[in-house]
Structure formats: C-alpha cells, structure tokens
Structure 1
Amino acid sequence: MIRPDSVETRRLAARIISNGGLIAFRTDTFYGLGVDPLNPDAVRRIKVLKGREEGKPILLLVADSSVVNRLMAQPPQLFERVTTELWPGPLTIIVPANDVLSQDITAGSSTVGLRLPNDESVRQFVRECGGVLTATSANPATKEPAKNAAEVQSYFPTGVDLIIDGGEVNVTEPSTVLDIMQTPPKLIREGAVSRSAIERVINLSDML
C-alpha cells in the first residue's frame, strides 16, 4: 500500500511500527525499510523480505543524539568529536551495541551502525515512531537501492505494510560508514561524506 507523506500517513506508520509492522520510507539517502529495532520479530521480517545474509548488520536512524544512549554500550573515545562535527549528516558511525539490540541488528558483532539524518522531516518522522528506526535500503540483497515509492513496490509487491511516498530521492551516494572503535578508525564505506572531510575532523592521516 502506497500513501503520500502526510500527517495522517505518519500517524498510521507510527501505529504500524508500534504493532511490529514493517514500512518503507524516504530517508536522508535512499528509501529504507523501517521497523522497531527493539522488536526481534519485526527485525527478522526485514531479513526474510530482503533475503539478507545473516552476517550483515542493519543500520539504525536516530531522531536526536539523546536516543544514542539507549543503543550504545559505551561511547568510543572519538565519538563526541566526530558527532559534534559531522552529525547530523549522511555518516553512519559504528559503535558498541547495547544488549537491548538483537543479533539480527548487530549480526553478532556486538556493534551497531547509527546515523543522525541531516533532514529535519526525516528526524521528526523517526521521532514520531519512537526515536529510532531501522533504515536498511529498500531493495532485495542483489538489487540497487530504491529511489522512489514505485520502485519499492516493484521490489516488494507483498511483505511491506505501508510505503510512504516521500517523492524521488535526489542523492547519488549512500551514507559513509566509519568504524571509530578501531585505532586508527576504519573507513568501511566512502559515500556522501568524503574521506578528506573525516580526516579534517579526526586529524588522522593514517586512517585505514
């Protein structure tokens, strides 16, 4: 079911999420699949829907930095510096996972990827859904990320309780993924935030 983004649609989405449902929505990058990450059964639905490999973790969007404390076991040394300079923005940061998160989120790694979107509308939506949502890209494991609601529906004719039509995505790159638990930090994926931008913040020319 596709519905245009509106106050009513967002209220419906929040109810679906609270009842263990699965939605698709426009994030600050591509369209993502959203469930309550603290609901293991809902998270498992994403894995089944995407045909996702067991060894791949699922990243989370947070509405504001205060939510992070619920999800992170202990902040790494560089966490405050990196988030102060580069959040909100398309940067997913790998941090130690709190034990409230299931292995389907962490892929058994004891870590979790968190992102604070640089889009107030997206942050507000996540806030309305409890402050945190999964945001793995809305596509089967072998396909490109969906850039609009119609593509999501073509990928998943069934299995998604609600697709929120937030319009066409106008970005070309995914979020950058940075593991700050290692010394030096490791750039897992370079995307919308460049390596040079990160190095200016953490001042580590020998970043992996």
Structure 2
Amino acid sequence: MRLRARSRGSATARSRSRPTSRVATESSRAVVADADAVLRAIAAIRAGGVVILPTDTVYGLVARGDSGEATRQLHAVKGRETTQPTAVLFPSVGALMAHLPGLPADALAAAWRLLPGPFTLVLPNPDRAFAWLSGDRPETLGVRVPVLPPASARVLAAAGCLVATSANVPGGPEPRTLDDVPAVLRALVAEMIDGGPLPGRPSTVLDLTGPEPLVLREGAVLAADALARLRD
C-alpha cells in the first residue's frame, strides 16, 4: 500500500464576560470543569446551540451531529462555507457502526485499526448518512472517535454524536488553550468548557475512499505512523 500526501485546503449568544466554570489544582495545574458546566453544555447542545469543548487535539466548536440546522448554526458561528465538509464525532467505534450500517468492510477494518485516536477518517458513505456534513462530497463522510477529556466525553456520550470543527476563524491558528479561541467566537457560543492546555496539533486526516490511503493533513500522528497502523 502506497501513501500520497496532499494538502487541502446560530446558538444562543453569551458574552465572554460570563466566567467559565473550572477548578485548577495546585499540584498539576490541570483544569477540571465542574458538573454544572457539563450539564449546561449538554443542555445547550440538545437545544441546537454551539459549544466550545476541549478535545484530544485542540479546542473545538461542537453542535448536535444529527441536526442539519445545528450544523448550519455552527458554520455561521465560525464563518465557514456550508459546502466544506465537517467531521462527525462518535463516542466509540461501536457507535460509529450503529450510525453508519452501510459502511464497507474495508473502511470498517481501517476504522478499527486507527480509532479511537487523533485521526479524522474520510470514509465511503454509500447511504448518504449525515448528508448535511458532507459538503460537496455527499458520497463521503469525515468521522472521528477521539479520546476526550472526561468532561467532553460526557457531553459526547449524552449527545450520541457531535459535529465538530476547530474553534478558530478560517485559516487562523489552532487553539491550544481556551484563551487562544478568538473572542468573536467565544461571544457567540452557548457554553464553554475549559480543559486547560491541549496538545495543540489537529487530527491527522486520512481519505480512505480510494484504492490507496491519502493523507489530506498530517497532524497529531505522522503520516508514516498512520500508514504503518493501516498495514498492521
């Protein structure tokens, strides 16, 4: 198997003056979201709002993955074209399988090899599931099964699936901390959870829709390492 690398290129508004719920421990400086913040985030997402969450890579804007309207709201908050595909997050590979029963066997095998982990996999989508997330490529779907911080994992488990994109303006730097998220975005979301500093590298994006895996973006995992996992 050969590898080719290639680059490719609205919620209830709340003021940034609202304090973010968090507790910092003196020993590790880790930031732990309190239970109320998590419950507010879950409620906001269920109501169709957009929330900022820490992920396994960078801070992300998230919304209900099962709602085209929530996805449009997320795109409006970020200033993102609706023709651009957006990834859907699942809490487990089992949940991915349940939502995408028509996934081809080879794509499913690749998902089991790479997930959970810091990957976005562009998979064949013969059933046109989550069509509002596929942009101008309805025959494909970008999926993630991340290893999330506990608070974000609770939100994802409650939602079942989330649409997610980096909490930055298009073309802006990846947000490693909540303070790195542009103020214009923080002012437009329904809730924020502060998870402290994150790794700061986005997911590695692999297109698995063709005869060979195609690296669309090298991120948290090197392209060579990703390919090695597919060969195992």
1:177 counterpart (205, 216, 222):
205
Query: Are residues 1:16 and 2:44 paired?
Result: yes
In the alignment, residue 127 of structure 1 is paired with which amino acid? A
2:119 counterpart (82, 91, 108):
91
1:141 counterpart (161, 165, 170):
170
CA RMSD in angstroms comes to 2.1
3-state DSSP of counterpart to 2:21: strand
Query: Are residues 1:131 and 2:160 paired?
Result: yes
Residue of structure 2 in register with 1:193 after alignment: 221
CA distance in 2, matches of 1:192, 1:157: 25
Residue of structure 2 in register with 1:115 after alignment: 144
In the alignment, residue 3 of structure 1 is paired with which amino acid? S
Residues 100 and 112 of structure 1, relative CA distance in 2, 3 Å threshold: closer
- Following superposition, the deviation at residue 201 of structure 1 comes to 2.9
CA distance in 2, matches of 1:56, 1:35: 16
CA distance in 2, matches of 1:173, 1:157: 20
CA distance in 2, matches of 1:167, 1:158: 19
Q: What does the per-residue CA deviation read over 1:106-144, in whole Å, with 9 as the maximum and x for residues that have no partner? A: 10312211111123624333102x221122000111311
CA contact (8 A) 2:120 2:205 kept: yes
Q: Which runs of 5+ in 1 are unaligned?
A: none
Residues 49 and 90 of structure 1, relative CA distance in 2, 3 Å threshold: same
CA contact (8 A) 1:72 1:95 kept: no
2:181 counterpart (152, 155, 173):
152
- Following superposition, the deviation at residue 70 of structure 1 comes to 4.4
Q: What does the per-residue CA deviation read over 1:19-71, in whole Å, with 9 as the maximum and x for residues that have no partner? A: 11110010111000110021122111111111112331111221111221344
* TM norm structure 1: 0.86
Q: What does the per-residue CA deviation read over 1:79-117, in whole Å, with 9 as the maximum and x for residues that have no partner? A: 3332333211101111134545243x1103122111111
Decide which structure has the larger Cα Rg and report it: 2
Q: What does the per-residue CA deviation read over 1:145-186, in whole Å, with 9 as the maximum and x for residues that have no partner? A: 2222223252425220111111121x1421111111110121
3-state DSSP of counterpart to 1:28: coil
- In the comparison of the two structures, how many residue pairs are matched? 201
